[in-house]
Structure 1
Amino acid sequence: MSQEHPFQVQIVPVTPFQQNCSIIRAANGDAAVVDPGGEVDKLLAAAEAMKADIKKIWLTHGHLDHASGSMELKERTGAVIEGAHEEEVFWLSQIAEQSKRFGVEGEGENVVPDRWLDDGDTVEIGGVVFDVYFTPGHTPGHVVFHQKEAKLAFVGDVLFKGSIGRTDFPRGHHQTLLDSITGKLWPLGDDTRFISGHGPMSTFGHERASNPFVADSVLSA
């Protein structure tokens, strides 16, 4: 946690997919919500309990379980939607259709971000700055958010504890995902903790040592 700009994070699992939505509250009370996949009432209640004022919505990618609550949350809070990369219009424009297909309660709306993000961009909440990395492979426009002072990353569905993102969806690509992990995530440092879209937290160092898909020993074999 940065001493200059302290912030707190609460992970709120949402939807039957148990997607890890994160609420990032800066010291001044302003907050960003990462990947509001649904259950907006639950997210608003969690934010209220944190005394967090939602100003930003940050999307790692456009899959239903990560983005379907975005427009409702924006309408109810006035928050600005930032992300993902512009290539993610492929998925963000299909959310309503996907919601019907999967029978998701409270049909999601197609998402139109206020700002697309690209590699090298930054996003900010309450004076806390996060670097943006373009990490395609799971989806064509996936991005990751990294707070370097706190050594904390929000990686969506690129990497999990003990696994990696699926690449069998349309416009997924396995080698591109591996390149995103090794080229964009590993350089952030072994001691960097990360919050995935699903499941428990881990560190990049732990995954480099033990992940059966991207451990150094596996990729160098």
Structure 2
Amino acid sequence: MEWRQIPLGLLQTNCYVLYNPQKDCIIFDPGAEGEKLIAYLEKEQLKPQAILLTHAHFDHIGAVDEIRQYYKVPVYVHENEANWLTDSTLNGSQLFMNGRSITVSPPDKIIKKEEVLSIGGFTFEILETPGHSPGSVSFYVENMNTVFAGDTLFQGSIGRTDLPDGNQEQLLNSIKEKLLALPKETTVLPGHGPVTSIEKEVHFNPFINGY
């Protein structure tokens, strides 16, 4: 399997497309610019199987309906943020988009607990990693040594916790107990910015150095 990072929207939110040799794919966090994402998928002849959301802030959900309707695929989100998709006051767009509301249709599938999720030929371990938001999750692909971490952990930084329902202590606990417990060679695919690894962040991230 391989993945492609596609920054989308004003905040350059990282959308990821994970695909296998059969051209099936999973889409993570289609935050904006649905036409651009569809053009890439069509060009590569990829066949989406599902949309997985690491969390439901507005910059991670903006193109959800465009992709869902075009490819007729289900959308997964954690139960703690299921109602954020339809509520601009919860997903942050009212606060940060000068009154512009970004909402999408309700999710098709609800993540309720940490478990192994299988979709077609793809298998993920769901890790609950709240703190940046109450329903933040990370998707770990063991056979690729890769975790789709959303806005939990960045290169040299961590997710912001000054947004409504953010909690820095909870976020640091999520990173320590869930992400840093992964093998040190694990590649971390963050919601913004460059790709990193667990090993690099343990050594160089000032927020978690020494854990």
AA paired with 1:184? K
Contact 1:160 1:199 in 2 (8 A): yes
| Residues 1-221 of structure 1 aligned to structure 2 (within 5 Å) | 7-83=1-77, 85-89=78-82, 91-95=84-88, 98-99=92-93, 102=97, 108-216=102-210
1 CA distance for matches of 2:104 and 2:113? 24
Report the secondary structure of 1:188's partner residue: coil
Other structure's SS at 2:193 match: coil
TM-score of the pair, normalised by structure 1 = 0.88
CA 1:114–1:131: 2 relative to 1, 3 Å: same
More displaced 10-residue stretch of structure 1: 189-198 or 88-97: 88-97
Q: Distance in 1 between matches of 2:86 and 2:170?
A: 23
Residues 83 and 106 in structure 2, CA contact (< 8 A), matched pair in contact too: no
TM-score by length of 2: 0.92
Alignment partners' CA distance in 2, 1:71 and 1:135 = 25
Task: Identify the residue that residue 3 of structure 1 maps to in structure 2.
Answer: none
Which amino acid letter does the alignment assign opposite residue 71 of structure 1?
A: D
Number of aligned residue pairs: 209
The CA RMSD over aligned residues, in Å, is 2.0
1:98/1:157 CA distance change after superposition, 3 Å: closer
Q: Distance in 1 between matches of 2:144 and 2:80?
A: 29
Task: Calculate percent identity across the aligned residue pairs.
Answer: 34
Q: Distance in 1 between matches of 2:184 and 2:160?
A: 23
Of residues 117-126 and 197-206 in structure 1, the stretch that sits farther from structure 2 once superposed is: 117-126
Q: Name the SS of the counterpart of 2:181 in structure 1.
A: helix
Letter paired with 1:88 = E
By how many angstroms is 1:100 displaced?
A: 5.8
Say which is worse superposed, 108-117 or 93-102, in terms of deviation: 93-102
Q: Structure 2 unaligned segments of length 5 or more: list them.
A: none
